[in-house]
Structure 1
Amino acid sequence: MEELTLKELEIAIKLRKEGKLKESNEILINLVNEYPDDPMINYQCAWSFDSLVLEKNAIQYYEKAISIGLPDKELRGAYLGLGSTYRALGQYEESQEVFKDGLVKFPQDKAMKVFYAITLYNLKEYSKAMEILLYTIAQTSIDENIKNYKKAIEFYSDKLDEIW
């Protein structure tokens, strides 16, 4: 990537962080038109559309960024962004597939697991959604009461419908 392009990308990201979403998006659209095969520009362009609540516009850029290849940190974000975008649009099956693919690549990603659980809820897979959420809470909570009952929460996470 040329130095000027990298500078423009940095400016667009800075503008997004400052809440200047439209200005950021305009720069990113220009960049993606000039460098359509750059995965980072596609990823940032997708993110900019999500920030503007224009999820439908984000999909093609997330998909392209993922297919071209991104460094792990950005790839995680792209899977999470694309899966969440599909979910927000009511495309739950597509969301589920994206999260499944993402979790194959990043099985320890707790945030992706939580967003996957939200999609499972939308698909009326309540037991599996609760299992993932309970297990994730047990694994990540710093709350002393949760920590005290960690083993019980983990044990019951996949047994919510059982009666003893």
Structure 2
Amino acid sequence: MKKLEIAVELRKEGKLKESNEILISLVKEYPNDPIVNYQCAWSFDVLGLEANAVPYYEKAILIGLPDKELQGAFLGLGSTYRTLGQYEKSKEVLEQGLVKFTENRAMKVFYAMTLYNLNEYSKAMEILLYNLAQTSSDENIQNYRKAIEFYSDKLNEVW
């Protein structure tokens, strides 16, 4: 679909409004295309119009997306709900995504942010610390990796 490729390219070039306008017209033309709905949601997100993105993310997920786009849609919708202050919905969406994509570290980080907003500080810190220890290439972090991983879920314990 040539128009879709153009819209994605415009977004990459920073022409966000133009990209969004094309995607809105594509959704009208192909209302049940999951990729078009997903890209349209994304186009609203990058414009800072998160509330407008929600129905497109929801529809794209409902219709069904290939795994790569589905990961992005779960992360995008979960993050969008969080920025809108809908923390329980954010948690639910991100948990659904993490069931299917257990190794998606970006989704885990966004999930930790949501947990923070829900005052689940210990669990949020555990996720962040563990992922930091697992992914950091910083020599000092790696020198203490085992300790960081060990303490990640024991922050409230005193020895």
Per the normalisation by structure 1, the TM-score is 0.96
Separation in structure 2 between the aligned mates of residue 162 and residue 150 of structure 1, nearest angstrom: 19
Return the letter of the residue paired with 2:42. Answer: W
Please list every run of 5 or more consecutive structure 1 residues that lacks an aligned counterpart in the other structure.
1-5
What is the aligned partner in structure 1 of residue 86 from structure 2?
91
State the shift of 1:148 in Å: 1.1
Q: Deviations over 1:82-111 (max 9, x none)?
A: 000000000000000000000000001000
State the shift of 1:68 in Å: 0.9
Number of positions where the alignment pairs a residue of Structure 1 with one of Structure 2: 159
Return the letter of the residue paired with 1:110. Answer: R
Per the normalisation by structure 2, the TM-score is 0.99
CA RMSD of aligned residues (A): 0.5
Separation in structure 2 between the aligned mates of residue 53 and residue 84 of structure 1, nearest angstrom: 12
* Runs of 4+ that moved beyond 2 A: none
Q: Percent identity?
A: 77
What aligned pairs does 1:20-99 form with structure 2 within 5 A after superposition?
A: 20-99=15-94
What is the aligned partner in structure 1 of residue 108 from structure 2?
113
State the shift of 1:145 in Å: 1.0
Please list every run of 5 or more consecutive structure 2 residues that lacks an aligned counterpart in the other structure.
none
Separation in structure 2 between the aligned mates of residue 26 and residue 145 of structure 1, nearest angstrom: 47
